[in-house]
Amino acid sequence: MTSTKLPLPTGIKFVFGGTAGMSATMFVHPFDLVKSRMQLSGEGGAVKKNKTSFHALARVLRNEGFLGLYTGLTAGLFRQATYATTRLGVYTTLFDMMQSPDGQPPSFTTKILCGITAGAFGAVVGTPAEISLIRMTVDGSLPLEQRRGYKNVFNALYRICVEEGVFTMWRGCGPTVFRAMVVNAAQLATYSQSKQLLLSTGFFKDGISCHFCASMISGFVTALSSMPLDIAKTRIQNMRHVDGIPQYRGVLDVWVKTAHQEGFRSLWKGFSPYYLRIGPHTVLSFIVLEQLKKLYYVL
């Protein structure tokens, strides 16, 4: 059966994308914080402050209290307002453009290309918020003399510009774009494909249970494939310059140093909170997005 619904207006697609991403962030931000701290724990072969994700979580609760889990939330929300709004808006726009005249969805390959394109656009727009998020979430784990003490995302962006220069807001833009391309190719394309396959079995209807299962499949594939790029992005965006010399020269340098000093498996360090963040975030984002679409057509 083909769809007779008119495509959503372009502006609505972007608004719905941002709203879905920000709604999901309210629930999964603590996992983002734990993930960032795990990725920087033991950096350069130093003694690990956080041996496991549960250890990292316990340290935050013990040293910073429950609200410490939401340190950097303003940056997380601003990231979704920029990154998620752009990527989901671009993806849904391209998806509708690539559908056949009779409403048949585009091929899996086309979905991947739409996801890659959407991710690249979103990453460029969202990199300043990404840098603020990384720095704010790891600040509480640093020695007092090394903490940046940003008050909120706007204070972070202002101080980065004043203290380090405007272009620092796009530091690590390369790995951020590459990660986003992988994440979106995996997340958006596998979500659409998983949903399509689940519906074709006859056991699922186009409802929340189908969206949940498709999102969890998508989240696992996304976490597994993008983790090394996420670690590279995190370390580059949080690095300091010593005597004008950067700690890392690029993504490959991060991978080589991390694998040599901390072991190859360290490229997937923090996988549990990463998946616990990206899986539910995928689930919640797409559930909210799907429900907003349905509400739009009802109203």
Asked if 219 contacts 283 with a C-beta cutoff of 8 angstroms, the reply is yes
pTM to 2 decimal places: 0.76
Compute the distance between CA of residue 278 and CA of residue 84 in angstroms, rounded to an integer: 13
Average pLDDT over the chain, rounded to an integer? 86
Partnered with residue 74 across adjacent β-strands are none
DSSP codes of every residue in 214-246: HHHHHHHHHHHHHHHHHHHHHHHHH--EETTEE
pLDDT tens digits, 190-217: 888 888 899 999 899 888 888 888 888 8
Contact yes or no for 16/289 (Cβ under 8 A): yes
pLDDT at 244 over 80: no
pLDDT average, residue stretch 4-27: 82
- Domains detected in the chain: 10-298 (1.50.40.10)
* Higher per-residue pLDDT: 100 or 162: 162
Q: What is the mean pLDDT of residues 47-54?
A: 75
Q: Exposed, middle or buried: residue 272 (CB in 10 Å: 0-12, 13-18, 19+)?
A: middle
pLDDT at residue 2 is higher than 50: no
Give pLDDT tens digits for 114-132.
888 988 999 999 999 999 9
